[in-house]
Amino acid sequence: MKTWQKLKKNPSLWQQYFIRERVLRAIRLFFENQGFHEVETPILILHPPAESYVEVFETTILDRYRKKTHAYLSTSPEVPLKKLLVAGIGNCFSITKSFRNTEMQSNIHNPEFTMIEWYRIGVPYTEIMKDCEDLLLFIHTYLLRTREASDQQATKDLIYQGAHIDLSKPWERFTVSEVFLKWANVSFEEFLNFDTAKKIATKKGYRVEKDTSWEELYNQVFLNEIESHLGRGKPTILYEFPSSLAALAKTKAADPRVAERFEFYIEGLELGDCYSELTDWKEQEKRFGEELKAIKKSGGTTYEYDKDFIVALQSGLPECSGIAVGVDRLVMLFADTAKIQDTLLFPVEELL
């Protein structure tokens, strides 16, 4: 049965889908109150930000004489927003559809999804941590305030899949190194060495093959032993990621092996990903080159990186920090659904 049919049959289901409009209103109000500009960024683009782990959707632009230009659907609003930051827009955000091919058959991904991305000028990423705390509290309060009379049982606590979540500040903060030690009993210092990481993974019973990468080992330990512990009862901010997993982030001055990147989790669900933005155009061009090489090697869709973005960085991206938060996952959280599909009126599975 399609979602529209389920809704026709059981009108009480609408409530779960109407959470989305209220979450979106709350987000817009939160940023409006702080003087942010909301901008629209293009979905149809010529140069996706080079990221080797993201597969793109391809399309074609035809001119009046049907001359073809290769185009893609945007995977994130990051590059156009940064161009606007260079142009001087100041604090800003975009709520936009983003597209990532192959990301199906999953309770937490839909290949077409909604993202909110915001940037603050002149601040390190620790300020965005505070934004996340404030934003989630704001949405929760807004939802309570605007709830319908029939929702009498809604309580002050946020309840997700049976667990009470305390959103109050400050949230729990752990570095990647700390969680590796705490839950996987692994010294991250040692794990950063690829050969040692292979030994540790093998000993833990993971399969290490010739073409297994360090990133795969890192994520397999993280996903199997750590992720589900994060954000239990209270959101967790996980910060200081290995630099190799943060292509667009600044590295930490005191320790270049880690990058100023954080993610936040609630009940094991990752909701947002933030960096202190890389402002060095040379470093950015180098990293794009490396990512494109990796895409070629893995057989993914190849494209050229956005030279206009490098030109923009050359003219000076102000110091800033930004974050992308999955709106569908926020809706999952506040609508208390286990699957992202249950927040979408037209999930991709119903099209295929």
Partner 1 sequence: MGSITTAQFKKGIFIEFRGEPNLMTDMTFVNPGKGSAFVRTKLKSLTSGKVIEFTFKSGESATELDVITREMQFLYKEGDAYVFMDNTSFEQYNIRETLLSDFVKYLRSNDTYQVLVLHDEAVGVRFPKKVWLKVTESSEGIKGNSSAGATKTVETETGAIVTVPLFIKEGDTIGIDPETGSYLERG
Q: Give the residue, chosen from 108, 121, 137, 192, that forms a contact with partner 1 under the rule CB under 8 A.
A: 108
String of DSSP letters for 135-158: HHHHHHHHHHHT--GGGTT--SSE
266, 189, 257: which is closest to 227 by C-alpha? 266
Residue with Cβ nearer partner 1 (71 or 341) = 341
Stretch that binds partner 1, among 24-32, 41-49, 127-135, 242-250 (CB under 8 A): 242-250
**Which residues 319-348 are close enough to bind partner 1 by CB under 8 A?**
335-336
String of DSSP letters for 235-257: -EEEEEEEGGG-TTBPEETTEEE
Stretch that binds partner 1, among 13-21, 79-87, 127-135, 309-317 (CB under 8 A): 13-21
- CA pair distance 292, 187, nearest whole angstrom: 31
Q: Give the residue, chosen from 5, 69, 107, 161, that forms a contact with partner 1 under the rule CB under 8 A.
A: 107
**Radius of gyration of the chain measured on its C-alpha atoms:** 21
Q: Does 141 bind partner 1 (CB under 8 A)?
A: no
* Residue pair 325/26 in contact by the 8 Å Cβ criterion: no
DSSP symbol at 212: -
- CA pair distance 72, 31, nearest whole angstrom: 29
Q: Does 245 bind partner 1 (CB under 8 A)?
A: yes
Q: Give the residue, chosen from 33, 205, 299, 351, that forms a contact with partner 1 under the rule CB under 8 A.
A: 205
Q: Does 314 bind partner 1 (CB under 8 A)?
A: no
Q: Does 106 bind partner 1 (CB under 8 A)?
A: yes
Q: Give the residue, chosen from 22, 26, 51, 80, that forms a contact with partner 1 under the rule CB under 8 A.
A: 51
Least distance to partner 1 from the beta carbon of 205, Å? 7
- CA pair distance 180, 202, nearest whole angstrom: 16
* Residue pair 147/154 in contact by the 8 Å Cβ criterion: yes
Q: Which residues bind partner 1 (CB under 8 A)?
A: 10-13, 15-16, 51, 53, 100, 102-109, 147, 150-154, 205, 207, 212-213, 215-216, 218-220, 222-224, 227-228, 241, 245-247, 263, 270, 273, 335-336
